[in-house]
Amino acid sequence: MLSSQLISMKPIKQDNPLGCAVACAAFILRITYGESLNLFKNGRNKANSTGFLCKEIIAVLEQIGFKYEYKHVNGKTKKKIRRLNSIVFLRRSKRYPRGHYMVRSANNRWMDPWINFPNKEIEAGCRGRLPERPIYGILEIE
């Protein structure tokens, strides 16, 4: 993939309350949110009710041929989450009661599929810093 394609990739907003994992997978796979949602087992139901586990995101990425693993974010993995197309799960908190997934995009930014949470008019965007502490990293296997 050309670096110009990576730079021009637009943020993808989540269309469901717990669809941040779906949007992050769509961003990496360069597909629409709807196409990504169809790759997840019980995707529509889970995006509205329970959300997704790291292993479910990995299963979707592996269907398309990517190799990923997830790790608890600690001193050893903290630098690895800054790699392009790494996904992080932000801890549950007052700000994010159910946690939140974001993906590392080009230009050292984080693609946030619901940047204006909790506003019901969902918008996606990019941030320079993570708004909460990451507890899991979904990392491409080199």
Residue whose token pair is 């790759």: 39
CATH of residue 112's domain is 3.90.70.10
| pTM for the full predicted model | 0.93
pLDDT tens for each residue of 61-93 = 999 999 999 999 999 999 999 999 999 999 999
List the one residue out of 39, 41, 123, 134 whose CA is nearest residue 89: 134
> CA angle, 38 as apex, 56 and 14 as ends, to 5°?
80
Helices vs strands, H then E, count in the chain: 5, 6
**For all residues of the chain together, what is the average pLDDT?**
94
Structure tokens at 91: 């801890």
Range of the domain at 116: 3-140
20 contacts: CB under 8 Å, gap ≥ 6: 14, 51, 100, 101, 102, 113, 114
Residue type, 136: Y
pLDDT tens for each residue of 85-142 = 999 999 999 999 999 999 999 889 999 999 999 999 999 999 999 999 999 999 999 8
Number of structural domains (the chain) is 1
- Rounded distance, CA 75 to CA 77, Å? 6
Beta bridge partners of 136: 72, 89
Across the range 50-54, mean pLDDT stands at 98
Residue whose token pair is 């990451």: 134
